[in-house]
Amino acid sequence: MIGKEAQQAQPAPSSLLVIFGGGGDLTRRKLIPALHELLRQKLLPERFAIIGVDRNEGDDESYRELLQRSAQAFMAQGFEQESWSALQERIHYLQGDFLDLESYHRLRQELERLAGERGIAPNYLFYTATPPRFFAEIARGLGEAGLAREPEGHWRRLLVEKPFGSDLVSARALNHTLHEIFQEHQIYRIDHYLGKETVQNILAYRLANATVEPMWNHRYVDHVQITAAETVGVENRAGYYDQAGALRDMVPNHLLALMSVIAMEPPNSMEGEAVRDEQAKVLRAIQPLEPEEVLTRAVRGQYGPGRDARGVPLPGYRQEPGVDPESPTETYVAMKLMIDSWRWAGVPFYLRTGKRMPRRFTEIAVQYKHAPNMKFKDSMVKRANIPPNVLVLRIQPDEGIELSFNAKEPSPVPRLRQVEMDFCYADYFGQAPSGGYETLIYDAMCGDPTLFKRADSIEAGWELVQPVLDVWQALPPRDFPNYAAGSWGPEEADQLIRSDGRQWRNLPTGPSDANGG
């Protein structure tokens, strides 16, 4: 939605949304609540319908009842019976097997029936809310049924969830399969971090403020930290997570997506392709890690037993239900990356993500270089540096922007103290920003690709991660578990940044952080 000139968003064009995996967790937790919110905001088209496709037996009524129970649980205060009823009557169900071509022909018949009976334009949006092993099969099935071809004046779009491949080879293979059936402009690869309002606001903050962009370079920035910390463990995802691990799950998509937004050059326009061109350039400019560099610039960890912020005992990863008792899977990753460009020459980007951390937060911290000390040598503790200015872009949960700077204390004696200016979305705009899926679904309906990943960016991300995967596979970890649940990660991660004379930005914790996700 970046770059839309209209002051008031208009309803999306008439269409039908097909959700493969219609009875799954993602649909119930995220997609249906997002559609409910779009309806509340009057952004769904008047002529619109949803078809959930899944293997379980059921009909329209049983499917609607299932979704209503979930909606009331997951929407909490956002649930409104009137708007839910308006959405519910547009929801339909089709029992089908993702591997059975006959299911796709029946789907085509159902789409044509609903379009005709309800006067809906034959524009189809297909959402793969399924395990990744079905992505290619769903695309093939749609192609066989003739549902990928775009008749004159109408569109067909495929929304693909992450993970997009499990390594470079599989990502390329998936791209190849999709391109055999769909054209690139029809494929919308989702990274829900890019849908978050706070991520979109990064470009607005940079490019709409004359005080920011002139200092957004190696002359003023010392380093950048990108953190995605979770307090939860593997939860009910052991089957997937024990095969994927933190590196595959978070780095090629979420963390590199944030890095590409923070480090990109200003685009010539805010149109989708112009923005995505600049993001792709960042990924291609990141210096690849040689095998020997993986040992010094990438750290992995796995949590063992520990305690949360309230002192409640927490199991180790290997004690979680469904996890191999001798699992070598990492639950923590830290990396140091460098961008080979004039803007960012010499500026390290530190990325980290982990489970069972003391506090849940996702943020980008831009630390500026130290100011000269001499003029204030009598205002500080002996040999101490003036504290650096730090700009923090909070992605979640307390969405906002924070800037720390130095000010003189009110005293006859000149003393400096670090103070903060803090902008919070909820306080200023009266509501928290959306979780991301509302924006992404709406943009896909409107044909705006800005917040979605292209094939080249997907493969560039995996090219950066592949050397780390190769080295870690060749050298299994010997010290797992190497950090306690409820701690900030392994000592090696602290050493990674400490060896450069820097330290991680760890937020204070309290009992309220124990229940975060």
Q: List, for residues 29-66, the tens digit of each pLDDT value.
A: 999 999 999 999 999 999 999 999 999 999 999 999 99
Give yes or no on whether 15-161 and 197-509 have one common fold.
no
36 included as an active-site residue = no
Tell me the C-alpha distance between 25 and 33, whole Å: 12
**What digits encode the pLDDT tens for the residues 161-219?**
988 999 999 999 999 999 999 999 999 999 888 888 778 888 889 989 999 999 999 99
What number is the average pLDDT over the span 142-159? Answer: 96
User: What architecture does CATH give domain 197-509?
Assistant: 2-Layer Sandwich (3.30)
Residues 119 and 126: their CA atoms lie apart, in Å, by 19
Query: Does residue 380 surpass a pLDDT of 90?
Result: no
CB-based contact 74:29 (threshold 8 Å): yes
Which of the 8 DSSP states describes residue 9?
Answer: P
What is the 3 state secondary structure string of 163-174? CCCCCHHHHHHH
Q: Could you say which of 92, 218, 254, 370 is catalytic? A: 254
Domain assignments of the chain as residue spans, ordered by start: 15-161, 197-509
Backbone angles phi, psi at 395, to 5 degrees: -85, -45
What is the enclosing helix (H) or strand (E) of 175? helix 168-181
Rounded to an integer, the average pLDDT of 124-152 is 96
Q: 238: which 2 tokens? A: 């052991």
Q: Each residue of 67-98: pLDDT tens digit? A: 988 887 777 566 788 889 999 999 999 999 99
Full DSSP string of 203-245: HHHHHS-TTTGGG-STTTEEEEEEEEE-S---TT-HHHHHHHH
The CATH code of domain 15-161 reads: 3.40.50.720
pTM: 0.92
pLDDT of residue 383: 44
Which residues touch 218 (CB under 8 Å, ≥6 apart)?
A: 343, 344, 345, 346, 347
At 324 the three-state DSSP class reads coil
Convert the pLDDT of each residue in 467-513 to its tens digit: 999 999 999 999 999 999 999 999 999 999 999 999 999 988 766 66
Which range, 191-205, 358-372, 376-390, has the best average confidence (pLDDT)? Answer: 358-372
Which of 50 and 271 is assigned the larger pLDDT? Answer: 50
Cβ atoms of 215 and 436 closer than 8 Å: no
Tokens of 151: 């008749």
Q: Is the bond into 397 cis (omega within 30 degrees of 0)?
A: yes
In the structure, what pLDDT confidence band is assigned to residue 460 with cuts at 50, 70 and 90? very high
Average pLDDT of span 417-431? 82
Q: Give the helix, strand, coil percentages of the chain, each rounded to 5.
A: 40, 20, 40
User: Residue 134: which of 48, 24, 277 has the closest Cα?
Assistant: 24
